Amino acid sequence: MNGPEPLTGEPLALDLVNTLPHTVDGPPVDHLADAAGLRVWLALQAGRLPESGRIAEADLAAIHQVRTYAVEAIGRARQGERPPQDALRGLNEAQLAAPAVRYAEWRDDRMTVESRRSGAFGAQVAAALAESVVDLLADPAFGSVRECEAADCTMLFLPAHPRRRWCSASRCGNRARVARYYQRHKTT
């Protein structure tokens, strides 16, 4: 993967959409362009996605398709429109390819329950990503999702504070502040 690390820390569905080619800090970068980039992104998402498995180039197609469906559904819903039926169907099919089961186990004198998915590792990741998109679309907080206000950035974020304007204070926020500073102090 070339370029800066992808932005992470938003709801998983937004982190997925934010892997698309964007131009912040240099030329456009698709963080999931190849299996190596996907492995880096999965490592950054540790604890949020299935972790035991090997990513192959063939897994990219399923994950790219879920990302396409996510972009379509989130984009339409942000405009107050109904998400495309094919995108919703695709998200549902991705989840069905590796269904989650609430798995019960007795450990250390108590019952534990965790979600586990069956199927190939790539299908498990795609299903978990599709589930995160569906969860975000159904979340009442979805209406607060914003696009970064930096002129050359299209990243999405869910603000924890209503005054948040940029995807990242250290990326777009700093660039905007520096640009304002130079504009104010420019000698003409």
Segment (H or E) for 110: strand 110-117
Residue 5 lies in a domain: no
Residue 6 lies in a domain: no
Q: Residue 82 has what pLDDT?
A: 97
pLDDT in tens, 49-91: 987 788 888 789 999 999 999 999 999 999 999 999 999 999 9
Residue 130 lies in a domain: yes
Query: Considering the entire predicted model, what is its pTM?
Result: 0.86
Residue 72 lies in a domain: yes
Residue 81 lies in a domain: yes
Residue 3 lies in a domain: no
User: Mean pLDDT throughout 85-103?
Assistant: 95
What's the structural domain count of the chain?
1
**pLDDT for 2 beyond 80:** no
Q: Residue 33 has what pLDDT?
A: 92
Residue 4 lies in a domain: no
Domain span at residue 52 reads 12-185
Please state, in angstroms and as integers, the Cα–Cα distance from residue 183 to each residue in 48, 148, 176, following that order.
42, 21, 10
Give the CATH number, domain containing residue 30: 1.10.3300.10
- Residue 78, C-beta contacts closer than 8 angstroms, at least 6 positions apart: 145
Q: Residue 1 has what pLDDT?
A: 46
Q: Residue 182 has what pLDDT?
A: 65
pLDDT in tens, 129-170: 999 999 999 999 999 999 998 877 888 999 988 888 888 877
Residue 85 lies in a domain: yes
